[in-house]
A and B are shown apart, each in its own frame.
Chain A
């Protein structure tokens, strides 16, 4: 059971916009920044969004993040086949004094 809650799966067709949600509590998302990671099959995770809504250089602007209260979301617009991957949200948890992850969302591009 992960501390942060994500839907196990999401899907869309090429060109569509999809969103992935991440729900937590006051001790994690409610009081700290949210980060998103993309993990392509067989590879290490890669930072996609930092500090709720910032994109590292090299990440296309099709990817965007937002946060409200104790929830966050990742939006992917103009969906492409290469976006098919697992996506994880993460935050620091003040009660646990440690990092926590969502269970991951498997995105399928139909």
Chain B
């Protein structure tokens, strides 16, 4: 079955960087995109951006441009999200989700989530 498995929880200090992984299985990795969505504690969902494992094209939400990088590793069917210059308000659960090309908000399935805690 289609599955996205994310890396484990992280604790970082303000100013640090974090890199979260999302390993896909059960489908042809390059046939669909991957989006990242985050959820701060007790808050709603926030779209961060999208990457195409087929050609590496990326589209980041304006809020995160310059501070976020999404990359793919096709041999391992893994997508990475790096967030730099972490602040306390970056504390959130970060989710990856598969997205059909051309269907920007069709997220299915989702990874289990990775909690990133930013604290001094």
Q: Give me the interface of A with B, judged by CB distance under 8 Å.
A: 2, 32-33, 35, 37, 44-47, 50-51, 56, 88, 90-92, 96-104
Q: How many A-B residue pairs have CB under 8 A?
A: 67
Whether A33 lies near B103 (C-beta < 8 A) is: yes
B interface vs A, CB < 8 Å?
Answer: 35, 37, 44-47, 49-50, 59, 61-62, 95, 103-113
**Contacts A44-B110, A45-B110 given: A92-B105 contact, CB under 8 Å?**
yes
A2 in contact with B95 given A90-B105, A99-B35 (CB within 8 Å): no
* Interface contacts beyond A44-B112, A98-B59: sample of 20 additional A-B pairs, CB < 8 Å, sorted by A: A2-B44, A32-B105, A35-B105, A35-B106, A35-B107, A37-B45, A44-B110, A45-B110, A46-B109, A90-B107, A92-B105, A98-B104, A99-B37, A99-B47, A99-B61, A100-B105, A101-B37, A101-B44, A103-B44, A104-B45
Partner of B106 from the list A44, A45, A50 (CB cut-off 8 Å) is: A50
Task: Note all chain A residues with C-beta closer than 8 A to B35.
Answer: 99
